[in-house]
Amino acid sequence: MLESYGEGAGSPEGYVHYCKGGKPGYFPPIKGRSGGQILLNLYDPLGWFPEQTEEEKERGRKCEVNNGRLAMIGILGFLSEAKVPGSVPALKGLIAEYAGNPMVPFETDFSFF
């Protein structure tokens, strides 16, 4: 939902999409959008957390990007071990071999039958 909101946020004041020079991980406040139908913000809806400094926010955004990168590396490690047993020494013998093609969703031929 957050990603969809970030892509279609329109152009609230001060918001620049991250692909056009904006800050990765920043989403404009959602409270009051859609004609006032949305009553709470997605992050800290009840206002329990103290306001962060700009440096803390920047560090948090960098951590989030790095965590996403690490997750992608981990998923590719599992896919590699499943397709080529022994290719990831730490996972050797823990993942069952996969006989199919994990890249089928990216091919243009979807005739499975």
Final residue before a domain boundary, out of 49, 71, 88: 49
Do 45 and 72 belong to one domain? no
- What's the whole-model pTM score? 0.58
Q: Side-chain half-sphere of 12: how many Cα atoms within 13 Å? A: 15
Do 58 and 98 belong to one domain? yes
Sign of the Cα torsion 87, 88, 94, 96 reads negative
User: Which residues are within 8 A (CB) of 63 and not within 5 positions of it... i.e. 6 or more apart?
Assistant: none
Domains: count for the chain: 2
Do 44 and 83 belong to one domain? no
What pLDDT shows up at residue 100? 84
Do 64 and 79 belong to one domain? yes
Check whether 93 has a pLDDT greater than 70. yes
The pLDDT tens digits for 46-70 are 878 888 898 998 898 889 889 999 9
Domain that holds residue 5: 1-49
Evaluate whether 84 touches 96 at the Cβ level (below 8 Å). Answer: no
Do 61 and 24 belong to one domain? no
Q: Is residue 113 part of a domain?
A: no
Do 58 and 45 belong to one domain? no
Do 40 and 62 belong to one domain? no
What pLDDT shows up at residue 77? 92
